[in-house]
Structure 1
Amino acid sequence: MRTRYPLAVGVLLTSLMLASCGADAAQPQSPPTSPAAEPAAPPPTTVADDPQKEPTPQPDAELTCDTIVSDGIVEALTSQGWTSVQEEFHIGETIVDDGLMCMWADFTTASDHGQMYAWGAIDDAKADAAMAGLTRDGWLRSTQDAHTYFTEDPAYAIATDADGFGMTYEFGDGWVKFADTKQGLLLIDVKR
């Protein structure tokens, strides 16, 4: 069984990795673009526009760290004395406007444990941009049950699950999830 590094190291490394996704001048991956040069995203497709496509799922309740995982998970985490910190959901340089990233841990003391969960509604254009960035940055892509997964290279993972997967994004139809392990994605249960 692998041990986790201290939570602060994990958060710092994750922040540095996400911050450096598009800013590393020593290894240019693609020509930089300015926000003005990016093509405008098409308007969201509604069911009336395309009867074959389901509408983007919207949660029943406001997105909070208590609503993106099941009540049982919230109870299990809080019973350990853990609390959550809520942040904007980023996938590299792509911001998931209708999303939320949550870090759960015991922030009152130095700890080597913590969990990250994120969920957000995302349109096709932003999903394509996020997936292109993950591919460019060396994340490993796989597909299962019509969902697309991007997992960090296990050689660089801070922590992995029983199957050897570290931080993982899951893209579905109109939504994206993130957890610090692939198995952790199963705990995200947004009511929609």
Structure 2
Amino acid sequence: MTASGLPMPGGTGGERELLEQWLDLHRATLAAKCEGLSDEQLRRTSAPPSGLTLLGLVRHLADVERHWFRRMWRDEDSAPLYCTETDRALGFVVTEADTGAEALAVWRREVDRARKAAAERALDEVAVHPRRTDWQTSLRWMYLHMIGEYARHNGHADLLRERIDGATGF
């Protein structure tokens, strides 16, 4: 565990174990960035002209988890939750009616489903992208992609949280 209670990845171990631990660290970091905030704070934008919010990041990452793990690895016809096939940015758009409790519950459900979908597959197993049938990806590639996706957005989340209440780190 880190000093802030986040699950610190081990320094040794098998490849899959380390990939899962790093992805779980980034997932836990996103949750920690949202912890203790009101819906209004979760909807607070970064700096104009950006409309980026912590709530929008959670919604976006729920869609990302759903897409990569359920559509790619379970071959489920899982439509996006917040965005559309033609407008991927819609997941970032939040309204006064959107709540942190709802978005975090959906995100946690998608993370749980992602873990189950990945557990059934080998790192070298290959899936065909649902929209780009000429492109394939291994589960190993997907773990690396997801770690990068979360790392990038956790950087955004850190800046958003600092703007909200001055909290940094984790």
Same-fold status (TM-score > 0.5) = no
Larger Rg: 1
Query: 1 or 2 for the larger relative contact order (CA 8 Å, sep ≥6)?
Result: 2
TM-score normalized with structure 2 length: 0.28
Which structure dedicates a bigger proportion of its chain to helix? Answer: 2
Which structure dedicates a bigger proportion of its chain to strand? Answer: 1
TM-score normalized with structure 1 length: 0.26
